[in-house]
């Protein structure tokens, strides 16, 4: 009996894996969704695959072209469906609404949501939650319009890696998790295991799985920024500072592309991911300036770029008038504080250095302080006698002479 139960369990597991084979292999490389799109002409499958890829704009385009959202409001059709079919249609409807939320089309999403007639308590609660999100998203979009536009305008001119697709990439952590699972199975069935060793491996596997589930559930922008932080830290440990500073950062480039494509996504507005992105760009440009490559003739370009990013961050702080969820904002402000402390103030020993640590009595990060600090820092660099003026572009030479004449206030 136990053997039969074991075989039935394996057969059920194999069937589930087969039915969800595309989603499983896409955990390792999302490009399988793109291949599936090319191999089918079914627009409903196209819509589902684009949503799974995070290409919300294409999902919205297909929904509007074929009227899929309007079809979800056909209650006569719903009445002839089985309960499971209705639930699947409702989940598909929510995916369509989530796509509209992702691209910032709150009015259109609200129109569809308000027309939906929930048939169960679960549907009613889901609709109420979506309405709350849409109402607050619309408020956030109006409140943060100028704040977001500052970052969008600046990031148009940046590029942190070459030939990077923001939706198709290898998920290395999935392979690591698969290796852990195989090793755990090997330990249980084949090796001379000990109880403590097996429990330790199981604990690591469950911790990794929990992190993987949490990480993959994050919105795309936050997920790529998290990956950028982890990879930047790892590279800074493994490589010399100059090599680490000038190395491509595909995760940051994907984050930049996602932000420019979907700057008004609800979760990103709520958690200040625009400032998270800007703070990471600030760190990168400062390090590129402070650790130049000798072969780079335009080594001051990154210094000027860091100066510009600092000024734009100051502008974002000025135009942000939000009083809700400020703890997210302060977290990214702290990143800017640390960047100023480590990469700017520490480069000139004569400058007074404020104490930049998390403290209840800490002074708020003031835009004028950022601008003044960055101005003084750039002036010091431009006046550095170790830089050969013959190697500098004319626009930098002119600015260097301009600062040398004491006109730094116009920076």
Give the model confidence (pLDDT) of 15-55 as tens digits. Answer: 776 667 888 888 899 999 999 999 999 999 999 999 999 99
Residues 267 and 140 sit within 8 Å (Cβ to Cβ): no
Please give the pLDDT value at position 371. Answer: 94
Residue 249 has pLDDT above 80, yes or no: yes
Closest CA to 90 of 77, 103, 101, 102: 77
> Distance (Å, rounded) from C-alpha 86 to C-alpha 74?
11
Please give the pLDDT value at position 6. Answer: 55
Least confident of 185-189, 303-307, 349-353: 349-353
Residues in the chain: 411
Please give the pLDDT value at position 138. Answer: 94
> pLDDT: is 292 or 132 the higher one?
132
Q: What is the mean pLDDT of the chain?
A: 82
For 107, the token pair is: 């009015």
Give the mean pLDDT of 232-245: 88
Least confident of 27-41, 150-164, 367-381, 391-405: 391-405
- Per the listing, tokens 């069937």 go with 15
> Distance (Å, rounded) from C-alpha 370 to C-alpha 366?
7
For 403, the token pair is: 């600062």
> Distance (Å, rounded) from C-alpha 96 to C-alpha 62?
10
> Distance (Å, rounded) from C-alpha 272 to C-alpha 259?
12
Using only C-alpha atoms, the chain has a radius of gyration, in whole angstroms, of 26
> Distance (Å, rounded) from C-alpha 30 to C-alpha 225?
18
157-172 as b/e: b if 16+ CB within 10 A: eeebeeebebbebebe
Give the mean pLDDT of 134-142: 94
> Distance (Å, rounded) from C-alpha 326 to C-alpha 270?
9
Please give the pLDDT value at position 395. Answer: 42
pTM: 0.84
Burial class of residue 394, CB neighbours in 10 A (0-12, 13-18, 19+): exposed
Q: From the CB of residue 382, how many other CB atoms can be counted at a distance below 10 Å? A: 21
Closest CA to 268 of 222, 299, 302, 300: 222
Residue 197 has pLDDT above 60, yes or no: yes
Q: Which H helix or E strand runs over 400?
A: helix 394-404
Residue 106 has pLDDT above 60, yes or no: yes
For 382, the token pair is: 């431009």
Split at pLDDT 50, 70, 90, the class of 182 is confident
Tens of pLDDT, residues 265-304: 999 999 999 999 999 999 999 999 988 876 554 568 888 9
Residue 351 has pLDDT above 60, yes or no: no
Split at pLDDT 50, 70, 90, the class of 238 is confident
Closest CA to 347 of 310, 374, 366: 374
Least confident of 120-129, 305-314, 318-327: 318-327
Burial class of residue 122, CB neighbours in 10 A (0-12, 13-18, 19+): exposed
Residues 193 and 187 sit within 8 Å (Cβ to Cβ): yes
Please give the pLDDT value at position 411. Answer: 47
Closest CA to 54 of 210, 223, 208: 223
Please give the pLDDT value at position 322. Answer: 75
Q: Which residues contact 213 (CB under 8 A, 6 or more apart)?
A: none
Least confident of 43-52, 196-205, 256-265: 196-205
Tens of pLDDT, residues 368-384: 999 999 999 988 887 76
> pLDDT: is 72 or 61 the higher one?
61
Please give the pLDDT value at position 380. Answer: 84
Using N-to-C axis directions, what is the helix angle for 250-261 and 273-290, rounded to 10°? 140
Please give the pLDDT value at position 199. Answer: 81
Closest CA to 264 of 42, 113, 57: 57
Split at pLDDT 50, 70, 90, the class of 385 is very low
Tens of pLDDT, residues 211-237: 888 988 899 999 999 999 999 988 988
Alpha helices in 217-300 (DSSP H): 220-238, 241-245, 250-261, 266-270, 273-290
For 289, the token pair is: 């300036």
Please tell me what DSSP assigns to residue 363: P
For 279, the token pair is: 């703070």
- Give the whole-number percent of the chain exceeding pLDDT 90: 46
Q: Rounded to the nearest 5°, which phi and psi values hold at 30?
A: -65, -10
Split at pLDDT 50, 70, 90, the class of 85 is low
Please give the pLDDT value at position 79. Answer: 53
> Distance (Å, rounded) from C-alpha 269 to C-alpha 152?
13
Q: Quick one: how many helices (H) and strands (E) in the chain?
A: 22, 0
Residue 327 to residues 143, 147, 330, 358: CA-CA distances in angstroms? 17, 17, 5, 12
Q: How far is CA 69 from the centre of its chain?
A: 28
Residues 299 and 293 sit within 8 Å (Cβ to Cβ): yes
């Amino acid at each position: 009996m136990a053997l039969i139960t074991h075989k039935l369990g394996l057969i059920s597991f194999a069937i589930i894996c087969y039915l969800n084979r595309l989603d499983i292999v896409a955990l390792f490389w999302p490009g399988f969704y793109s291949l599936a799109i090319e191999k089918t002409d079914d627009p409903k499958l196209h819509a589902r695959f684009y949503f799974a890829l995070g290409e919300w704009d294409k999902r919205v385009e297909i929904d509007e072209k074929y009227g899929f959202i309007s079809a979800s409001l056909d209650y006569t059709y719903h009445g002839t469906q089985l309960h499971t079919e209705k639930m699947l249609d409702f989940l598909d409807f929510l995916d369509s609404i989530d796509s509209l939320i992702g691209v910032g089309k709150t009015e259109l999403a609200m129109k569809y949501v308000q027309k939906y007639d929930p048939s169960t308590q679960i549907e009613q609660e889901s609709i109420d939650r979506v309405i709350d999100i849409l109402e607050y998203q619309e408020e956030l979009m109006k409140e943060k319009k100028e704040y977001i536009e500052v970052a969008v305008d600046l990031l148009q001119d940046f590029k942190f890696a070459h030939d990077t697709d923001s939706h198709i990439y290898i998920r290395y952590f999935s392979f690591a998790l698969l290796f852990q699972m195989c090793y755990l199975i090997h330990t249980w069935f084949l090796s001379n295991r000990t109880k403590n060793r097996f429990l330790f491996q199981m604990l690591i596997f469950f911790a990794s799985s929990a992190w993987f589930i949490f990480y993959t559930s994050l919105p795309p922008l936050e997920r790529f920024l998290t990956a950028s932080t982890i990879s930047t830290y790892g590279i800074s440990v493994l490589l010399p500072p100059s090599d680490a500073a000038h190395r491509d950062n595909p995760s940051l480039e994907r984050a930049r592309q996602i932000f420019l494509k979907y700057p008004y996504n609800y979760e990103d507005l709520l958690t200040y991911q625009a400032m998270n992105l800007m703070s990471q760009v600030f760190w990168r440009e400062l390090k590129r300036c402070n650790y130049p490559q000798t072969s780079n003739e335009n080594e001051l370009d990154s210094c000027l770029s860091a100066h510009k990013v600092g000024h734009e961050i100051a502008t974002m702080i000025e135009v942000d008038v939000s009083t809700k969820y400020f703890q997210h904002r302060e977290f990214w402000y702290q990143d800017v504080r640390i960047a100023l402390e480590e990469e700017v103030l520490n480069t000139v020993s004569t400058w007074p250095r404020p104490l930049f640590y998390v403290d209840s009595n800490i002074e708020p990060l003031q835009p004028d302080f950022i601008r003044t600090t960055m101005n003084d820092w750039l002036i010091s660099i431009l006046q550095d006698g170790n830089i050969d003026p013959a190697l500098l572009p004319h626009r930098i030479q002119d600015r260097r002479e301009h600062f040398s004449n004491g006109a730094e206030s116009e920076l």
